[in-house]
Amino acid sequence: MYIKNVELTRFKSFGSTTSIPLLQGFTVVSGPNGSGKSNILDALLFALGLAGSKGMRADRLPDLVNQAHSKKGRMVEASVTVTFALEEAEVTAMQSEGIEIPTAEGQNVGEWTVMRKLRVTTQGTYTSTYYINGTPCNLSELHEQLAKFRIYPEGYNVVLQGDVTGIISMNSRERREIIDELAGVGEFDRKIATAKDK
């Protein structure tokens, strides 16, 4: 599977709805400094609920709304939609493992979308909702689904600027934790820790 499209509406520097197609394999995004390349990665972290552990570059969620639209006393909505492409064989393989691939009416079998909407009210308060294939869900439900695709909040599916230098300056125990995470052991260690807490 791969991410085939990221659509941003009023998210950070993207004032109007912008659809960014990503190719299977390798896609390079190039552009001048400050043109919004890293904002696309921020959008991915935002939509997939990975921002908490990965440190998206914004102090508060409302800062993510495009400034041209975020006027005081006006309600404004920003959203990011991430579309995953799943090959038919992948869908079949997952189903045979008992993993349900939710698909909305009329949608291609091999398409799976995650959307997150951020709504800032006239009072400046905000709400945020996640959707899987158009159906609202909470963050833990989303994480549960993403885990089936081996996408983890603590994982290295998204490698950010600074991650590499971070790894170089780690001590051996911290580096071992990364290997545990990549090997999939980390998930079980967390489950053990949670069970011990209870």
Return binding residues for ATP. Answer: 32-39
**Comparison of 38 and 103: residue with beta carbon closer to Mg ion:** 38
| Candidate list 33, 123, 125, 194; residue touching ligand ATP; CB under 6 A | 33
Residue selected from 5, 18, 20, 37 as contacting ligand ATP according to rule CB under 6 A: 37
Among 7, 36, 84, 116, binds ligand ATP (CB under 6 A): 36
| Tokens (6 digits) for 96 | 């045979």
Q: Is residue 13 within the footprint of Mg ion (CB under 5 A)? A: no
Considering only residues 139-178, where is the footprint of Mg ion by CB under 5 A? none
CB of 71 to ligand ATP, least distance (A): 12
Task: Give the count of beta carbons closer than 10 Å to the beta carbon of residue 81.
Answer: 20
Residue whose entry in the numeric block shows the structure tokens 């006239």: 122
- Nearest to ligand ATP of 18, 133 (CB atom): 18
Q: Is 38 one of the binding residues for Mg ion (CB under 5 A)?
A: yes
Residue 152 C-alpha from the chain's centroid: 10
Closest separation in Å from C-beta 46 to ligand ATP: 12
Residue numbers in the known binding site are: 32-39
Residue 128 binding: pick among ligand ATP, Mg ion, none (C-beta 5-8 Å cut-off by kind): none
Residues 72-91, one symbol each (x = binds ligand ATP by CB under 6 A, - = not), give: --------------------
Which three-class secondary structure string do you get for the chain? CEEEEEEEECECCECCCEEEECCCCCCCCCCCCCCCHHHHHHHHHHHCCCHHHHCCCCCCHHHHECCCCCCCCCCEEEEEEEEEECCHHHHHHHHHCCCCCCCCCCCCCCEEEEEEEEEECCCCCEEEEEEECCEEECHHHHHHHHHHCCCCCCCCCCCCCCHHHHHHCCCHHHHHHHHHHHHCHHHHHHHHHHHHHC
> Is the CB of 78 or the CB of 91 nearer to ligand ATP?
78
Smallest separation (angstroms) from ligand ATP to the CB of 58: 7
d(CA 55, CA 45): 9
Quick one: 38 or 157, whose CB is closer to Mg ion?
38
Binder among 35, 95, 108, 121 for ligand ATP (CB under 6 A) = 35
